């Protein structure tokens, strides 16, 4: 079994891509809907939340964990690898950078846009890695704090979402790639692509991690069912999870009291 955790429903885009790549993979998903969004939290708080989830997963004997959150990958990725040497972690930033590197080597990159939470954009994690790749690449970035709440409220196709996307994306000019620096954003990918036009390539961490992660199907326990948990669970999340995963999903509540004990 592999564990996937995120601040809310965004990590389901990673879970869905994984299940397409490895249908028999048993998966445990946890979204921290009681404390989302994480994008405006401090690095110390993010690391505390991640500690709690990793300890919870270890109590379930799960030692392969996907950090399905750009903010958590940014502020806690290295920390978790240093403190939990027996655990294999996968973040959502490195797969995007591997694809971006390949695109650069093929001379398909000159100007890159980045959208993400306040925390991810302010950390300059993508900007720094792109500059290490080549100082000649021009970068434009924009924090988009309203997009996560819109996705969490199932406003994917709402007129308000279109207006807010237009407001954020008008900042970008003549880019050839746009990094969707939050796992919630692939749920708005169609609208983003329509606004930017077909010539702009969208880089989704959900898609890239599923393409690049290498798992051995012989290690799977095919009879073990998938489980989906939220720290705050209402009927809204049942409907939203089923919509994102394209199948009927029964979600359960994982009380914060259980996480806080870990």
| Residues labelled as active-site residues | 69, 182
Quick check: helix, strand or coil at residue 205?
Answer: helix
Q: Which residues, other chains included, contact 77 with Cβ-Cβ below 8 Å and sequence gap of 6+?
A: 67, 89, 91, 93
Distance CA 172, CA 112 (A): 9
Q: Phi then psi for 47, rounded to 5 degrees?
A: -65, -35
- Residue 22 backbone dihedrals phi, psi, to 5 degrees: -135, 80
- Give me the count of residues in the chain: 262
Q: What residues have CB less than 8 Å from 195, skipping those under 6 apart?
A: 165, 166, 169
- The SS3 call for residue 101 is helix
Q: Hey, which residues does 2 pair with through a beta bridge? A: 27
Taking only Cα atoms into account, the Rg of the chain, rounded to an integer number of angstroms, comes to 18
């Amino acid at each position: 079994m592999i564990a996937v955790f995120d601040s809310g429903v965004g990590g389901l885009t990673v879970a869905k891509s994984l299940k397409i790549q490895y249908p028999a993979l048993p998966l445990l998903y946890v979204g921290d809907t009681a404390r989302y969004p994480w994008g405006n939290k401090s690095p110390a708080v993010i690391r505390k939340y991640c500690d709690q989830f990793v300890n919870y997963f270890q109590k379930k004997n799960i030692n392969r964990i996907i950090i399905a959150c750009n903010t958590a990958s940014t502020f806690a990725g290295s920390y978790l690898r240093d403190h939990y040497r027996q655990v294999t972690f996968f973040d959502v930033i490195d797969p995007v950078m591997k694809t971006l590197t390949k695109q650069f080597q093929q001379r398909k990159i000159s100007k890159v846009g980045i959208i993400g939470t306040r925390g991810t954009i302010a950390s300059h994690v993508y900007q720094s890695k792109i500059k290490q790749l080549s100082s000649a690449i021009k970068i434009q970035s924009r924090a988009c704090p309203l997009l996560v709440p819109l996705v969490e409220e199932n406003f994917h196709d709402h007129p308000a979402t279109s207006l807010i996307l237009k407001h954020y994306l008008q900042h970008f000019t003549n880019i050839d790639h746009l990094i969707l620096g939050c796992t919630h954003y692939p749920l708005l990918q169609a609208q983003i692509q329509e606004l930017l036009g077909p010539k702009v390539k969208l880089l989704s961490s959900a898609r890239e991690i599923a393409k690049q992660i290498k798992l051995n199907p012989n290690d799977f326990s095919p009879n073990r069912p998938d489980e989906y948990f939220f720290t705050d669970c209402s009927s809204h999340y049942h409907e939203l999870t089923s919509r994102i995963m394209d199948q009927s999903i029964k979600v359960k509540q994982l009380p914060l009291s259980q996480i806080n004990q870990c």
